[in-house]
Every structure is written in C-alpha cells, then in structure tokens.
Amino acid sequence: MPPVPYVRRHVVEHAAAGQVLDERFVSLDFLPFVDAARLRPLLPRLSVRSGRRNDDGPGELEVVETWRRAAYTWSWNDPAANADALNFWCAALGQPRASAAAVGGLWWTRWARCRVGSGEILGRHSDEVSAVATTVLSDGRPVAVTGSWDNTVRIWDLSTGHPLGEPLTGHTSWVVAVATTVLPDGRPVAVTGSLDTTVRIWDLSTGHPLGEPLTGHTSPVAAVATTVLPDGRPVAVTGSDDHTVRIWDLSTGHTLGEPLTGHTDLVRAVATTVLPDGRPVAVTAGYDATVRIWDLNTGHLTGEPLTGHTSPVAAVATTVLPDGRPVAVTAGYDATVRIWDLNTGHPTSEPLTGHTSPVAAVATTVLPDGRPVAVTASWDHTVRIWDLNTGRPTGEPLTGHIRPVGAVATTVLPDGRPVAVTGSWDHTVRIWDLSTSHPTSEPLTGHTGTVGAVATTVLPDGRPVAVTAGWDHTVRIWDLSTGHPMGGPLTGHTEAVVAVATTVLPDGRPVAVTGSRDHTVRIWDLSTGHPLGEPLTGHTSPVVTVATTVLPDGRPIAVTGSDVDTVRIWDLTTSHPTGEPLTGHTSTVRAVATTVLPDGRAVAVTGGWDATVRIWDLSTGHPMGEPLTGHTSPVDAVTTTVLPDGRPVAVTGSGDHTVRIWDLSTGHPTGEPLTGHIDTVRAVATTVLPDGRAVAVTGSDDATVRVWDLDSRRPVGHPLPVTAAVEGVALTRSGGEVVAVIVGDGLARVDVRVESW
C-alpha cells in the first residue's frame, strides 16, 4: 500500500524536527512518494548513520545524491514516474536499484553507461540558456533568474529546485543578459538584455514587467549589471553590440547621460563595483580584447584600457581580495582567465589556464573558509573554480553539461552552502555545491564522446546486440544483456560517425552500415568486427543518415542521406551505387527509413531540414507524389511501421517539437501532430506488440523518452527522463520484452514494461 498523502507530504518535516531524518525516509522505496519541494531544503539536516554502501544497499548519502540528480523531474501525482526516473539515475551512477515491481512503473533500466558528471539539474529551457543571475526574494527565498534563446526568463527556487510561476515573456528575441537588484521600495527585480535591442525590468515577486521596455541601444544588448549610486539611485549598466555602454535609472526607466563610448567592437561583458575611494565603477569588456573601467558618477573612463587578452573578452566579474584590493576577473575566447587590480590597472598574476575552449562566463564568491574564488564556465563543457589568492584551480573541473556552458552566477543558500548556478547550450540550468564534491558516473568503457546513432540486430549465436556510432570516429558493438562492449572499437572513419543501420547479407552475415562526416559509407561484418571492402564514396558532404532494406529482386541495399540534399542507394553485395543520386529536398537530408508498400514496392521515406517528408520508389529512384508538408521545422527523425488495420505509415520527429504519422499509401497525415516533447524530437523507433498494436518510442533534446500508441494516437504512460539529450533510439525484442536502446551522452538499455500498460 502506498503511504497516505499526509505522510508523503509531511513526514520528512516531522523527522527533521525530531532530528531523525535518516535512511528510513531517503530509501529507494519511499523516495518516489515524497514531496520533493519539502525534502530538498531539509537534506542538510540528514542524520547519516553510514555514508557508504553496505551489504544491504547504498548508504543514505549515496541515495540522496542520486535522488538530487532526478529531483527536477519529480511529480507529486505520479510516484511510478518518480520511481522510473530514480532507477535510471541509480543505473547511470552505478547504484543498486529498487525492485522493478516496487511501484509499477513503465520503464525498467537494465543498465546505463552515461557520463553523468557532477552537479544537479534545476530544470530546462526549450533552447540554449545564455544568462544567469541570483538574488533573494522578499520572503528570504534564494532564487536564480535565467534567460534563454527561447525568448523567456525563468525564476528558480534554489532551496526546492522548483521553477516559480510561468516563464516571463515579452522579449521578442533571445535573452542573453540578466542581472538582479533591489529597488528602494524593497522589490527584488531582474534586468534583462536581449537580441531585440531592448532592456526589460521584471518584478520577481509577481513575475510582471515593470513599465515599458527600455530602448536606446541600436543592436543586441549582450551584457547587463546593476549597482546603486551614492545618491541611492539603483541603476543598470548595459553593454551592446552597438559598441556602447549605457546607464539606466531603474526607478524612472530613463538613461543617465549620453552613451559611454570607447570600445571599438561589440561590448559583451559588464560588472560593477565600488573603489576604495567610494566611486562606483563599471568594468566592461568586449570583442576589441580590452577591459575598460568607467566612473559611473561622471561617465568617464578611469585610466587606460586594460590589455592582455589576445582575443575577445566574453565575461567579467568583480570582487574584493582579503587585503582590500578590488579586482576584476575576466575571461576570454583565448581560453584564459585574468585577474586585474582595479586600483592600478595591472594584472595580479599570470593568466589562469586550464580551460581548452573559450571561457564564456565568470562569477565570484567567497568559500566558507574565507577564500575568494572565481567560477568560470567554458565552451569546453566544464565549470572551474579558481582560488583568487593563489591563481590556482581548486579541485577538478565540474562536469555534467554536454554542450558549451555560457552562463554562471553564485549565491549562498540559507544553510550556508555556497553554490554556483550555470546555464548551457544543452538547455539545462544546473546547481553546484562549491564546498563539496559530487559523485560522478563510472568512466565510460566505450565511446569517448557523444553517441550519435544506434541500431540493433542479433548475431548468429543468438546474442542481441546494439551497434553505436560515435563522434569519436568509431563504431562499437554492445552486448545488450550485459551492457559491455564486444571487442574493440571499429575504426576507419576519419571523422564523427553519425548514422548506423543493420541488415543481413544473403550469405547470412549480419552487417552494420555507417555514415560519417568524412563523406563516406562503410560496411562492417558484425561477427568479425572487420570492414567489408573499401569505403563507399560518392557523397560530397557529410553522410548523416542511413537505412537498409531488401529490394524485390533480393538485393540488400543501403539508402543514405547527406548534407547536400541528396539521397543515394547502394548495393551492399557489390558496394556500388545503384543509379543516380535522388534529388528533390532543398536542404540537408537528415533522416531516412525504408519499408515495403502493400503492392510490393520497396520505398524510402526521407526527412529534410526543408521541413518536408518525401517518399521514393527504390526500384526506379523516382519520388512518389508531392512532398509531405506539415512540419514547421527540420525533420530530424523518421521510421516506418504498419498500423493494426494494415496501413503502412511513417512516423517523423521534428524541430517543431512534434511527432507526426503519415499514411504512406495516400501521402496524407493520419491526424493532428502528437505533442508532449518540449524540444527537438531527434529519434523515433517503432515496434509491433504481440497483440498487434503499433507503438513508437521517441527521444528528444528535452532529455526524455516517450511511448505512443500509433493507432489511438495517445501517449502511453509517463515519459522517462534521462541524463542528456537523446540522439538516437532503437527498439528490439528480448525474451518477449520490448527493449529500448537509448543513446546520447552514453547509452542505456531500458525495458518497456508492456504488462503495466
């Protein structure tokens, strides 16, 4: 029997009050029922009896740290979904899991080989997160405010990990800069800058804009900071691609004085501080590779520009060292971090090096032991902490983001923990405890980078395997029973491998066919791990999609699509192309699948970045009918299946976040798009259940996997949240079970529990 609602919601509060919050309340069996918003602030009061795994399972610290990773997905109304999410993260972190039948969820994760990294996900935007700031609301709640390329601003409660209210809308283009302050009347506000050239002020207590947008910049507003002038006026200082800096009175919404000019290129960073003599200053930096200091009382430069960076300066933050010196910390596209004494204009040390790509964001804070630190975020996907006294990093880089990290802010939680909040091109907002380390996943034993595609097959000895294509230029074969790679990587491609399909040759050999950004197609004997013949050449740009089928005359073929709008057909027994390239798409052909129509014709179905779907007769190489239109963004995924009534259909996923089903006999959609994903749908796979129902499993950049009943056009159960954006999904059957193999930043085998439907 599940716990009653009162126990679910309040028992952790009673346990914490009685100083008995321990493993009984953070167990794998109870956590799916807990109210995440109430538990999260109480975790620092956890009574730890054993911080390590024992013979009965993981210690409570391990369970808590695993639960923190999944907590952003928590649903009070769906404990089964919570259990499935927790089990996935346990598998990803190498932790024991609860029983598959404990709650009765839809998904059961057999194994996961994912790079989880450290830090916790607070939530997701539907596009790149480009700006972060922190503040404290009037009721004492610490919050993060984020801006995104989805044109919205979001507020996140850092104690509970939950978003506050709906996204703030009003900007008409990307929000790329955020700062916070408090108005004289006590209202906490956020100030945002956007590519729409405007600055907006938001009341964080109500989520409403204050007044009209502030206009004056003639190009995107890429940087914003706030401070208070000596006369008590709160101001924002903004930097723009129009090369100017502006000062705005936040009480009136008017500019103070003329624009500050001096930069000779885009102004992409601004911070404020007060010098020892009481002067408020702004420190700005930009694409002219200089750092400038402005007296906010006079609007004049103080001293000469600070030079030393060898490429654009993307970020700046300020702080005061223990000896009283005010400093600016800057970060640039030259992958270095620099510290500047604002009294003298000189650097305080050699450049700080360690990042391997441009450093896009920097923030400062003070650790509990009194050390001032800078936190930097980089396009190398990492976050680093630097001791500003010594100029050295503190510990290893923080990993978890899977794309460039473009924003960072710091704050201190009510329990005294200093944290950093980061935003990334992977669409996530993450929080990092700067005073402790977090557990990370076990080292991945296969690919060393993103896995771009997956296919499944069965070897002659009966073993079901997955074949994966990696951005590390390799192809790997995985035993689906154990999750272990079989043999070494298959090498030969000289660039990222982004497409894979499997088939069986007439002589019984199972093969994989792969496509790569090196413009070639390769055929691999899966029994031996060796390539069959020379690479297939003919494409003049990256090969980004592959499918296989057998023509009516018995010839096994591969169908490939490329970045130059063409589709090619290859005879897998001769390794030669059949006919001329198929042309018609007006942009990259990103997805391809094959099937056989009721009249016996073998066809290919392709999806393009021109937002269309096309059907091709593989015997003639001619298109069948007009392009299928309806998607409003690139078509990134396509597969085929047969509905219970015998109709062959294609299922497509798109950058418009929808899934569509197309009747291949008529070329018409079978109804309205399937909605639920909140980001690009990059992966689609189908299967037919023993009772005849056709289902699709879809994966998205929103880091979820969903199941759809294609006949009723309804979602089945709840989505499974995974650790990163989903690049590919393959379905197979094993012992009567439906098995999903999910790839992205690693791979996982997840059984879809048909009996729970």
User: Residue 650 carries which side chain, given as an amino acid letter?
Assistant: A
Rounded CA-CA distance 300/450 in Å is 49
For residue 79, the SS3 value is helix
User: Are 120-433 and 451-750 in the same CATH fold?
Assistant: yes
Between β-strands 556-562 and 383-387, what pairing exists: parallel, antiparallel or unpaired? Answer: unpaired
CB burial of residue 535 (10 Å; 0-12, 13-18, 19+): middle
Q: Which residue has the higher pLDDT, 290 or 126?
A: 290
Percent of the chain with pLDDT over 90: 76
How far apart are the C-alpha atoms of 567 and 310, rounded to whole Å?
44
For 221-336, strand residue ranges (E) read 221-228, 234-240, 245-249, 254-255, 267-274, 280-286, 290-295, 300-301, 306-307, 313-320, 326-332
Domain boundaries, the chain: 5-114, 120-433, 451-750
Q: If pLDDT is split at 50, 70 and 90, which confidence band does 55 have?
A: very low
Question: What does the angle CA 748 – CA 752 – CA 753 come to, to the nearest 5 degrees?
Answer: 135
Q: What are phi and psi of 263, to 5 degrees?
A: -65, 145
**What is the distance between the alpha carbons of residues 421 and 341, in angstroms, rounded to a whole number?**
26
Quickly state the pLDDT bin for 95 (edges 50, 70, 90): confident
Contact between 606 and 567 under an 8 Å Cβ cutoff? The reply is yes
The pLDDT value given to residue 159: 85
The stretch 488-513 carries a mean pLDDT of 95
Tell me what the pLDDT averaged over the chain comes to: 91
Encoded tokens for 549: 């089928």
pLDDT, mean of residues 553-558: 92
Taking phi first (over 0 means left), then psi (-120 to 50 degrees means alpha), and beta for anything else, what does residue 33 get? Answer: alpha
> Given this model, what pLDDT does residue 443 score?
45
Which residue type occupies 107? W
445 band by pLDDT with thresholds 50, 70 and 90: low
Mean pLDDT within 386-401: 91
Residue-level pLDDT at 68: 87
Contact 652, 684 (CB under 8 A): yes
pLDDT of residue 640: 97
In this structure, what token pair is assigned to residue 717?
């159960």
pLDDT by residue (tens digit) across 640-685?
Answer: 999 999 999 999 999 999 999 999 989 899 999 999 999 999 999 9
d(C-alpha 528, C-alpha 18), whole Å: 62
- Quick one: tokens of 446? 């296969």
pLDDT band at 49 (very low <50, low <70, confident <90, very high): low
What pLDDT score was predicted for residue 56?
46
- For the segment 461-495, what is each residue's pLDDT rounded down to a tens digit? 888 999 999 999 999 999 998 999 998 999 999 99
Task: Supply φ then ψ for residue 11, to 5 degrees.
Answer: -65, -35
CB 487 within 8 A of CB 475: no
Reported confidence tier of residue 48, pLDDT bands at 50, 70, 90: low
Whether the Cβ atoms of residue 181 and residue 234 lie closer than 8 Å to each other: yes
Average pLDDT over residues 80-89: 92
pTM of the predicted structure, to 2 decimals: 0.87
pLDDT above 70 (res 99): no
Q: In sequence order, what DSSP letters do the residues of 479-515 get, joined into one string?
A: ETTT--B-SS-B---SS-EEEEEEEE-TTS-EEEEEE
Residue 41's pLDDT is 86
Q: Is the pLDDT of residue 50 over 60?
A: no
Q: What is the pLDDT of residues 304-361, one digit of tens each?
A: 999 999 999 999 999 999 999 999 999 999 999 999 999 999 999 999 999 999 999 9
Mean pLDDT of 443-452: 74
pLDDT classification of 45: cutoffs 50, 70, 90: confident
The CATH class that applies to domain 451-750 reads: mainly beta
* Alpha helices for 31-137 (secondary structure H): 36-39, 60-70, 79-92
Contact 143, 157 (CB under 8 A): yes
pLDDT tens column, 190-246? 999 999 999 999 999 999 999 999 999 999 999 999 999 999 999 999 999 999 999
Strand ranges in 540-680 using DSSP code E only, listed in sequence order: 543-550, 556-562, 567-571, 576-577, 589-596, 602-608, 613-617, 622-623, 635-642, 648-654, 659-663, 668-669
Enter the DSSP assignment of 214: B
599 DSSP assignment: T
Q: What's the pLDDT band for 62 if we cut at 50, 70, 90?
A: confident
Is the confidence at residue 559, as pLDDT, over 90?
yes
Q: Which residues pair with 322 in a beta bridge?
A: none
Alpha-carbon radius of gyration of the chain: 28
Tell me the one-letter amino acid at 477: I
- What's the average model confidence in pLDDT over 597-604? 92
Distance CA 29, CA 26 (A): 8
Local confidence band at 102 (pLDDT 50, 70, 90 cut-offs): low
**120-433: CATH number:** 2.130.10.10
Of 169, 133, 142, 137, nearest to 153 (Cα)? 169
| Spatial separation of the C-alpha atoms in residues 130 and 146, rounded to whole Å | 8
Query: 10 Å Cβ neighbour count for 173?
Result: 13
